[in-house]
Every structure is written in C-alpha cells, then in structure tokens.
Amino acid sequence: MKFTTQMDAARKGIITKEMEIVAKKEHMAVEDLKNLIAQGKIIIPANKNHTSLDPVGIGEGLKTKINVNLGISKDCCDIELELEKVRVAIDMKAEAIMDLSSYGKTEEFRKRIIESSPAMLGTVPIYDAVGFYDKELKDITAVEFLDVVEKHAKEGVDFVTIHAGINKETAGVFKRNKRLTNIVSRGGSLLYAWMELNNRENPFFEYYDQLLDICEKYDVTLSLGDACRPGSINDASDASQIQELMVLGELTLRAWKRNVQVMIEGPGHMPINEIPANVLLEKKLCHGAPFYVLGPIVTDIAPGYDHITSAIGGALAASHGVDFLCYVTPAEHLRLPTLEDMKEGIVATKIAAHAGDLGKNIKGAKDWDDEMSLARQQLDWEKMFDLAIDPEKAKRYRKESMPKDDDSCTMCGKMCSMRNMNKVMKGKNINLLREEG
C-alpha cells in the first residue's frame, strides 16, 4: 500500500522503517508509536530525499529532543566553519540542525548538510528568499515565496519554519496591543513588513493549501512559527501571542486533513511562573501537536549567560510537556555563536532536556542518573567520566586538581562523605588525621 507521509502511513496502518527505528530508540511499542503519529501527537520529520537521515521522533511519551541553530550571515560567511559546527553538533548527539543562513551560498551549505547529516535538518525559507531572488523584500511575490519552500523541500529539508499564523487578524491584535519589544521573530518581522509594505495578506496564510501540497509531496514537517513570540518578559502571554496560537491551532487541523505532520513553535522570553500555563495552552489550542520552544528565556538581564537562562526555562517547560528544545548559546542577542559558544549551548540544552525527561517520567531517563549515582558511591572516576554529559570537561577538572588520595577529590579530601561512608559501612576506621595503616 502506498503512502505520502509518515502520518498517512500511520493512518493506513502501515509501519514504516522510520517508525521501527524510532520505536526501538524510545523503547516504545511500534503500534503505540504508530497510533500517536496518526493522531498528530508524535512526528517523525523525514523528508523522502534526505537519504542520510537517522530518524528520530518528537512528541508525547518520547525523550525531549534538541535543535542546534547554525548558518552563514553577511557578516560571518565562512561555510567551512559552519560545517565544522555541524560535525561537532552531530558528534554531541544533537537530534536536529537548523540552517538559518541568510546570505551568500545558502544552497551549497544546505546541500552539503543534507548529504552528510544523520540529524534532521530544518530551515526558514523566507530567510533565503531575499538572497535567492536578489530582490528587495517588498518585491518578492507570493508565488516566489512558495517556490523557495519547494526548492528546500526538493533538496531534502525535513522541516520548515513557516510563520503562517501572523495573518491580518493577528496583525490587527498586535497593532492594538502595544508591546515593549514589538515582533522579535526574524521571519515573523519580515512577513509583517511584507504585509504592511504591500497591503496584502500573509502569503503563507493566503496560500496555505499550496504550502500543504509541497509538504505532502516530500513529507516535509511544518514547524508553524511563532511570529509573535515574546521577546521580553514584559510581552509574555499577551494578546498577540495567544491570538497567533489560536490561528496555529486551526492551521494544524487543516494540515492534518492533508496528512502533513506539524509541530508548534513557542516562546521566547517568559517569566518562570507562566511556563506551565503556556505549555497547557499550546497542547489544548493546538490539539496535542508537539511543542517546540526557544528557551524559554526566564529573565532579560543576562547577556552572555542566556544558555543558562534558557536552560532554566527549558527544563521546566520540558517537565510540563514540551517536546523539543531549541538551544540557546551564551552569544544569544550578541553575535553569531563561535564553536565554543555552540558547545556550551548544546550541553546546557541537553541538561535541560534530560531534567525535563526526569520530570515527566520518560521511560529509561532515570537509569542514566542511577548509573552515575552508583559510580559516585563507588568512587569509580572512569565510570563517572563515561557517563558524564560532557566527559572532556569532567576529566579536565579532575586532572587539573588531583588529590593526594585517589578515593577523594580536592574539595573534601579525606572528609569525602562517599569515601568515609564506604569505609564505615564495611566496619573500617576512616583515618582522617593519619595515613592509612
């Protein structure tokens, strides 16, 4: 039996090879996985033309996944450096790469990622449109925007961020409700500007059915972008954000009628106490579709440390049901991330994702922590390094400050609680002030 997308296959009762791989990774019965894909609660972004892909699932009951944003810009256009970042991100087990390139040889960079990357690849096609057509934003036509989406889909992109929810109605709500930071989404601001300059409806909203034609043809997952995500704590959970979320819920149902897989993008900057309610709202208004968030960044005062502010929000969000975290680096709001910035962002986001998995009792998540705790109790340093989320840093810290006694560290020395409890539990003297007998 033929099928067009993973969702179409699931609804026809077909178990695809991608479903089998994901079910094995997640320790989930493949029938349960198939049923959740059919309902839209799990997605497997897997473009038919991405032949190097190692598929992963995103959604209900699965481990929280992370995405790494990369790409060239006019000020930083070193393709080889960005490709090195891709390689390192994959080595660090990032499940997704988003190419946010906005200048230069974007097609070459994108194709090279697709050819070699087992991680799923996402793009924001509107970023590419200005450079591809060599036109000012105002002069690009609706058809041309859609043609760029199809170009990315044909090349093998697994998911595309499309800001279809900022239609004229949403824009009206935005105009009537003043914000501190206006529209901070890059793609959302470009579309809003295009609408204002041309006095037209958002082309991705107006021609949404044609967009779905493209996604269905190549099995591209729609990442419905949050043009009105809050860019400051002040703007969180406001009328513009909620209005757009309601539109995205309607667009989700339209996509599902065409068997197109969907995830919903979310905030953004948000005070910590509002995060649980926002997750609940997204799941309710968007019918259980997987939720993908940037952060959330829980305070606006920490430039240079936003990998920490976002990890705090990401852990809480994931524990309440967020399925996919977009990493944030220390360079957020300041510059294009360096390789080291990227590494710090990945580690912080992986910690947040795993903390969230513990909070929502994902099968097998606690096993990792239990193994680490046992290694600590046994003072098995090599095992601890093997289990560490960043083994290189753990080894370096240990090596830089070695204790006199191997069964301790330079923080506690012979007063190490693990060391002493092990001895006492075996009926031995702990010998704090003298050498061992």
Annotated binding site for [4Fe-4S] cluster: 409, 412, 416
| Residue 395 CB-density burial (10 A; 0-12 exposed, 13-18 middle, 19+ buried) | middle
Q: Which secondary structure element, helix H or strand E, spans residue 263, and what is its range? A: strand 262-266
- How far apart CA 67 and CA 326 sit, in angstroms, is 5
Tell me how far the alpha carbon of residue 49 is from its chain's centroid: 22
The DSSP annotation for 361-405 comes to T-TTHHHHHHHHHHHHHTT-HHHHHHHSSSHHHHHHHHHHT--SS
Token pair 């989406």 in the structure block, residue = 149
Question: CA-CA distances (angstroms) from residue 66 to 80, 87, 268, 349?
Answer: 23, 15, 15, 7
Can you read off the two tokens belonging to residue 144?
């041309």
Annotated binding site for substrate: 69, 98, 127, 163, 185-187, 226-229, 265, 292
Task: Name 70's bridge partners.
Answer: 99
Give the angle subtended at the CA of 259 by the CAs of 256 and 260, to the nearest 5°.
Answer: 80
Can you read off the two tokens belonging to residue 90?
């994959």
- How far apart CA 82 and CA 59 sit, in angstroms, is 29
Q: Name the 3-class secondary structure at 285.
A: helix
Cα atoms in the 13 Å half-sphere on the side-chain side of 373: 5
- How far apart CA 360 and CA 372 sit, in angstroms, is 20
Q: CB within 8 A of 417, min separation 6: which ones?
A: none
Cα atoms in the 13 Å half-sphere on the side-chain side of 13: 1
Q: Give the burial string for 99-112 (b: 16+ CB within 10 Å, else e).
A: bbbbbbebeebbeb
Annotated binding site: 69, 98, 127, 163, 185-187, 226-229, 265, 269, 292, 333, 409, 412, 416
Q: CB within 8 A of 350, min separation 6: which ones?
A: 66, 92, 93, 389
Annotated binding site for Zn(2+): 269, 333
